[in-house]
Chain A
Amino acid sequence: MDAIFLQLLNGLDKGSAYALIALGLTLIFGTLGVVNFAHGALFMLGGFCAVGVQMLLKLSTQVKDESIPDLEMMVDVPYLQVWFGDTGAQLISYAVPISVILAIPLMLLVGVLMERGLIRHFYHRTHADQILVTFGLAIVLQELIKSFFGATPIPVPAPEMFTGSANIGEWLGMGAGVSYPWWRLVYFCFSTAVIAMVFAFLQFTTFGMVVRAGMRDRETVGLLGIHIERRFTIVFGIAVVVAGIAGAMYTPIVSPNYRVGMDFLVLSFVVVVVGGMGSLPGAVASGFLLGILQSFASMNEVKHLIPGIDQVIVYLVAVVILLTRPRGLLGRKGVMED
Chain B
Amino acid sequence: MMNTLAKQDRWLLFGFALAVLAGPVLLKPFGAGYPDLLQKFCIFGIFAIGYNILFGLTGYLSFGHAAFLGIGSYTAVWSFKLLTMNVLPAILLSVLLTSVFALLIGYICLRRSGIYFSILTLAFAQMAYNMAYSVLTPITNGETGLQLAKDDLRAVDKFFGVAIQDGIPSTNFFGMSLVGYSGFYFCAVLLILSFYVSMRITRSPFGLMLKAVKSNQNRLKYTGINTRSYALMAFVISGCFAGLAGAMLAVTDPLAGADRMHWSASGEVVLMTILGGVGTLLGPVIGAGVIKYLENIFSSFNEQILNGVFGFLPDALQHPVVKFVGLFVGEGWELTLGVLFLVLIIFVPGGLMQGLQSLQRRLFPSQPTPAADAARGAH
Contact = CB atoms under 8 A, between A and B. Distances in A.
Contacts of A131: 61
Interface stretch (A6-14, A140-148, A218-226): A140-148
Interface string B309-353: 000000000000000000100011011011101100110010000
Interface of A: 35, 118, 121, 125, 127-129, 131-133, 135-140, 142-144, 146-147, 151, 262, 266, 269-270, 273, 277, 307-308, 310-312, 315-316, 318-319, 322-323, 326, 336-338
B108 A315 contact: no
Interface in B110-129: 111-116, 119-120, 122-124, 126-127
Contact of B122 (A266, A316, A323): A266
A136 B119 contact: no
Contact of B345 (A132, A318, A323, A336): A132
Nearest to B337: A139
B164 interface: no
Contacts, number: 115
A118 B345 CA distance: 11
B133 interface: yes
B131 A322 contact: no
Contact of A315 (B126, B271, B346, B349): B126
B231 to A, nearest CB: 14
A143 B337 CA distance: 10
B263 A336 contact: no
Contacts of A266: 122, 126, 263
A127 B271 CA distance: 15
B358 interface: no
A35 B108 contact: no
Contacts of A125: 349
A322 B346 CA distance: 32
A270 B332 contact: no
Q: Is the interface of A mostly helix, strand, loop or mixed?
A: helix
Most interface-central of A35, A128, A326 (chain B CB within 10 A): A128
A336 B123 contact: no
A140 B342 CA distance: 9
B274 interface: yes
Closest 8 CB pairs of A and B: A308-B135, A139-B338, A311-B130, A143-B335, A315-B123, A136-B341, A140-B338, A136-B342
B144 interface: no
B134 interface: yes
Contacts of B267: 135
B150 to A, nearest CB: 31
Contacts of B338: 136-140, 142-143
Given A140-B338, A143-B338, A338 B122 contact: no
Nearest to B129: A311
Contact of A337 (B111, B114, B126): B114
A273 B135 contact: no
A282 to B, nearest CB: 14
Given A262-B264, A318-B119, A319-B120, A336 B114 contact: yes
